[in-house]
């Protein structure tokens, strides 16, 4: 993605946050993510149409979940309707802004939350499921979910993955950023 395309992406994406949320830090975080990982935008930014503020205000509220993987230098984007994320609201709150590689990098409750969010997103880093997912993420830590809890949420938010620019035609009221370090 060249500089012109990145600028166009910023110009067309930021109003989606401006209309719904005055949290300048979240908009800056989005700009930072896109600047640091311009090749990880999973769509052609030219397909991101401008949306006027009245149209945005009429849209249902969504969360933009951005899962950054340092290991495979990729970013997974999810535009999740706010009501679809309510079951994981506490976990999303705990992992917002978290940068972790292992359970030891997390405060109490964060590893559990990170595992559940990764499961709900369908294991965005590596697509692992079932036993393979459990073998990677369930390490025997005291502070982790049970395999049955993982199975109950696995893939529930995966269908909201952003695959094309039109998937971002939403009113975002919150952005959750998680960075899985190496």
Contacts for 42 with CB less than 8 Å, ≥ 6 apart: 75, 76, 77, 162, 163
Domain extent at residue 110: 3-180
Residue by residue, DSSP assigns 81-110 as EGGGGGGGHHHHHHHTT-EESSGGGS-TTH
**pLDDT for 140:** 86
Tokens matching residue 2: 């060249």
What is the C-alpha separation between 14 and 90, in angstroms, rounded? Answer: 26
**pLDDT for 26:** 56
* Mean pLDDT, 10 residues at a time, the chain of 182 residues: 58 55 55 63 66 80 87 83 93 92 89 94 87 89 90 94 82 85 78
Please give the angle made by the CA atoms of 47, 167 and 70, to the nearest 5 degrees: 95
- Total of domains in the chain: 1
78 phi, psi to nearest 5 deg: -135, 130
**pLDDT for 25:** 58
Contact between 182 and 106 (Cβ < 8 Å): no
pTM surpassing 0.75? yes
């Amino acid at each position: 993605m060249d500089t012109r395309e990145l600028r166009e992406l910023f110009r067309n994406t930021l109003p989606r946050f401006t209309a719904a949320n005055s949290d300048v830090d979240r908009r800056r975080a989005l700009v930072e993510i896109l600047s640091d990982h311009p090749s990880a935008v999973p769509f052609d930014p030219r397909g991101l149409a401008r949306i006027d503020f009245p149209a945005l205000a009429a849209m249902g509220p969504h969360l933009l979940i951005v899962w950054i993987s340092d290991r495979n230098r990729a970013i997974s984007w999810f535009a999740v309707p706010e009501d679809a994320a309510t079951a994981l609201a506490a976990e999303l709150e705990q992992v917002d802004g978290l940068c972790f590689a292992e359970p030891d990098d997390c405060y109490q409750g964060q590893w559990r939350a990170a595992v559940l969010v990764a499961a709900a997103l369908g294991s965005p880093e590596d697509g692992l499921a079932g036993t393979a997912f459990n073998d990677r993420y369930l390490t025997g830590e005291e502070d982790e979910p049970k395999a049955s809890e993982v199975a109950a949420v696995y893939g529930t938010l995966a269908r909201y993955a952003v695959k094309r620019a039109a998937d971002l035609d939403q009113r975002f009221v919150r952005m959750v950023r998680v960075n899985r370090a190496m």
